Structure 1
Amino acid sequence: MPATPTRTDVLVVGAGPAGASAAAWAARSGRDVVLADAAVFPRDKTCGDGLTPRAVEELDRLGLGDWVRGHTVNQGLRAHGFGQTLHLRWPGGTLPDHGSAVPRTELDARIRQVALESGATGVEGAKAVDARVEGGRVRAVTFRRGEETFDIECERLVVADGVRSGLGKVLGREWHQDTVYAVAGRCYVDSDRSDDPWISSHLELRGESGEALPGYGWIFPLGGGQVNVGVGTLATTKRPASVAIKPLMKHYTDERRAEFGLSGEQRMPTSALLPMGGAVSGVAGANWALVGDAAACVNPLNGEGIDYGLETGRLLAAHLDDDLLTAWPALLREEYGDAFSVARRLAAIFTVPKTLAALGPVGMRSDWLMTLALRWMGNLVTDEDRDRSARIWRWAGRRSINLDARPPFT
């Protein structure tokens, strides 16, 4: 095993999509980069494994486009609910017209490998447990590997250690649960429809007693005879999640067996709690910043976080010379603030089951409305889009953030 570096220009803690993206782009700019993670790769992560067109675009930027397209390619969403089934194609526009799905054990290891191939030095099995801060700047991070404790000094620090963000908490990150968050679970199941060109989502999620629940279920084809099956429920401190996710996931899986050709037992069932919509403060200091899940960059309407992770990693790598204490929260709000504000406002409405029961049947009767919803909810509006639906979404976001008692990332 090569010697662990004792210092570096850029230290990235967390080698998921956000951290690996930041490490790759920073290394490509000529910086000395260390990419550290508590796990040894390949490793698993609770996730639906779906890649939206926005995530596919970021993987294209990293040079992984052909690799992604060598896996499953999907053309859009099959939406089920309220007696209807709609096939909604990805809108395309300035983004790719297709999505994909790759298990996180494979996806994260491949993106990390890109970072290493770009020049970053990898450190595995080392958990960040503390930071040495002097004069408002992080000078070193303390790691623990087995019984060993060691420091890596750095000029700049990228914190990408996931939704719990242990290092972020050390540095002052705080999660505000008064805005909507999610509890989600996923498993793998054998299926004779693993090459289905559509990802499926059931927008009318019901419990074992038939009660309506504020959330959704999904089935994402992965090829090779398996699919990712999962459920997610939305909650706030006022309306906390009161369902047991793993039993609900089993119930949902059993209900879909005949329709989706599911067979055998659930494999690798896991669950996670997801801060969403920038519902954190303390995302940066003078020479450090949080990216991806650590910064709650997760879509409140669909639970997607891979695209935001890849994007924030790339964005931060381009701004490492800035005073990040003010520049990074401002950039996050500029990029995501309006959309996150209106998305978490809408998601909070859907935590009331009666609201979804009233609005769902209306929406599902219209391909046009649901295509619009797919674009808005799927983070598929870009700055370059100038059509009417894009303008409406941006207008709603600006109005929403002005009403927030605590805007995203504050």
Structure 2
Amino acid sequence: MFSSNWLESRAAEVTIEMVDPNITLAGLELALGSLYSDEVCLPPADVVSVVAAAALLQMDGLLAQCAEVMCACVAARTVVPFLEAAAAYGLDSVQRCCRRWLQLNLMTHVNDLPEVLRQLPAPELARLVASPELLVHQTEFSLYVLLKTWLFLRLHPEWRGAGREAVTEAHRFVQQRAASVSGPTLLETAQGAPLAGPFGRMRLQHLVLHPFDMEVLFSDRVVPTGWLGGLFRCHWLTLLRLDQGLVQPDWCRAVSQQQFEACALRCGRTLDDRRCTWRWTGFNFGLDLVMSHSRRQIALRRNSRQELPLLISQADRRTVLYRVRVVGLDERRAVRFELATELRSVQLARGQQVHVLTVPPEVAYPLLLSVNIMTAPISWTPTCAASGRPASG
């Protein structure tokens, strides 16, 4: 506007109509001041306004500086405003930074901040839920609980409280509605349908692997039952095929990276610098997989416990596909360390343990552990897809 062949570049006085509500006097002063200084101080509190002013004035250099500041200042209180500004003004690098931060912090930090969780728009949350880079803390059912809380917060904008209170109130709300209202589920109503997108991007096949999870899922009457019906047929067919030896040991060869990332079981936890052994509960097609952490070594074992022998696969070897990732965060909860395995396959004999990953000695705890596992060729079969699920937010 102020250079090249624009008419305004030769005018002594320029009148600009400013209709963008993001443009403030402070932001405009900083933007115009940058024309007379090589160094510009961009306070995080004003950077969105500066971006808006710079976009209006077509100051590409200043926009690039703002993008650097925003990426360096992504945190809980800034991530949603920065993400919205990045989308509005075409700052792709800022969008990537914000989404990366949310992928790691949605279930480990934002879940305890109702005011931040409430701000997330449905399309963006749906994108996060579908992302293979989302760090699912605990299990897919934990993600369902988070989405249920988000749904409650969006439907009750006046509600205020702490994170655990929000979870409790969300559960009370959907249970009371389910007990008093017959007919469609919450996501099938005019009130809930606009917010259905994130729920439709969950890996619903992993919500029906534990009886307690299923009881809550059906009693909540949030998710349409039509989304779930085909999953039971698919799981049962896979179990029968495994039991009859109809699944080839090398079934994993037919699974592409994209299919694995879209369908694998997602689970995670926080690791401290101590010895521990754990499993994520739920039916796993006869495999009891146990993970352990000791002296910075992470291992995966096929347990052959005897107390429930009829529920444990007696096959000599079972194929497992997995990817494991550990992440360390700094005080802003940005990545300070990350280490991940490639997509690996292993045939586990009963009682066999395999080394998965070693945490370098210089890395400080605590760390976030993300594990993606596939134990049977099931989830990507088109006939197993639930009908009526929204494709996006």
Query: Normalised by the size of structure 1, how large is the TM-score?
Result: 0.25
Structure with more helix by fraction? 2
CA radius of gyration, larger in: 2
The structure with higher relative contact order (CA 8 Å, sep 6+) is: 1
